[in-house]
Amino acid sequence: MAQGKTGSSSPPGGPPKPGSQLDSMLGSLQSDLNKLGVATVAKGVCGACKKPIAGQVVTAMGKTWHPEHFVCTHCQEEIGSRNFFERDGQPYCEKDYHSLFSPRCYYCNGPILDKVVTALDRTWHPEHFFCAQCGAFFGPEGFHEKDGKAYCRKDYFDMFAPKCGGCARAILENYISALNTLWHPECFVCRECFTPFINGSFFEHDGQPYCEVHYHERRGSLCSGCQKPITGRCITAMAKKFHPEHFVCAFCLKQLNKGTFKEQNDKPYCQNCFLKLFC
């Protein structure tokens, strides 16, 4: 009977399991401490091993843990007093949590730990969200998107906005559409004298707009006598063009016919005046 009270003999059926033997030892220790007047009330049940906690305890996530059992779910390293994150009821060390679950920067692919910029359906570190052309950070005016890339206002319009047919600079606001291109309103003027067109009426030559006078000058259809456009009948003489009524003798001012004049010093004369003056 004495031997049966010691609890040292093996139970029938084989040796005790290590876990049950440890529990028996802890129970004996607790009993002995109680006899000595030392309180051994458990501080809780470990959230990992489900065993009572009699020594140091970690309280986290609404549970208690043996310090050695409160570990990162991913790397299994003891968390201790370090910062940790909870996800789906599981603890993660700071490094693994950011590596596994934090949003990634589209530029560097690194985890975003603090501030985040969300743009173009992607996430970015604030210091990595800049103009794809010049690298400048975006100011209060924001950015413009083209083919999935962000550009500052200047570079976007320089690269992608339609260009003015007059000054070749980007058109940002109002424009005039003419001659199969676009123009700043202030640039749609005669290409020779830069005069604005009255009532929008202009003449085209080689794809450029001109006023009536300079259009005919370019085409060689200005009267050499009055310097006005020739729109009807025309006389060509001395490699020039004239209104019929303006092809006159340089001396007597009588109207000449194309085949009945004399030329002297690049001027036309009637037969009589030519004889009087030069013969």
Interval 7-30: pLDDT, tens: 333 344 445 544 456 556 655 655
Longest dimension (CA), the chain: 171
- 175 is a domain residue: yes
**Chain Cα centroid distance, residue 46:** 52
- 135 is a domain residue: no
- 230 is a domain residue: no
Determine the average pLDDT of the residues in 231-238: 86
* pLDDT value for 139: 85
In eight-state DSSP terms, residue 276 is: H
What b-and-e string marks burial along 222-241, b requiring 16 or more CB atoms within 10 Å of the CB? bbbbeeebbeeeebebeeeb
- 142 is a domain residue: no
- 70 is a domain residue: yes
Q: Count of residues for the chain?
A: 279
- 271 is a domain residue: yes
DSSP string, 189-212: B-TTT-PBPGGG--EEETTEEE-H
* pLDDT value for 236: 86
Determine the average pLDDT of the residues in 199-223: 88
Q: How many CB atoms lie within 10 A of CB 245?
A: 12
- Torsion sign over Cα 93, 94, 100, 101: positive
- Torsion sign over Cα 213, 217, 220, 226: positive
Give the whole-angstrom CA distance, residue 249 versus residue 263.
10
- Residue 163's pLDDT band, with cuts at 50, 70 and 90, is very high
- 3 is a domain residue: no
Instruction: Express each pLDDT in 66-100 by its tens digit.
Output: 999 999 998 999 988 888 988 888 899 988 888 88
> Which residue bears the tokens 């051994």?
40
**The CATH number of the domain where 52 resides is what?**
2.10.110.10
Average pLDDT, rounded, for the chain: 84
The total number of structural domains that make up the chain = 3
Give the whole-angstrom CA distance, residue 226 versus residue 208.
25
Instruction: Express each pLDDT in 106-159 by its tens digit.
Output: 999 889 888 999 999 999 999 999 999 999 999 888 999 999 999 999 999 999
* pLDDT value for 42: 65
Which alpha helices (H) appear in 9-152, and where do they start and end? 18-35, 94-101
C-beta of residue 209 within 8 angstroms of C-beta of residue 220:
no
Instruction: Express each pLDDT in 173-193 by its tens digit.
Output: 899 999 999 999 999 999 999
Q: Which domain holds residue 181?
A: 161-219
- 14 is a domain residue: no
Please list the residues that pair with 91 across neighbouring strands.
86
Which alpha helices (H) appear in 65-199, and where do they start and end? 94-101, 153-160
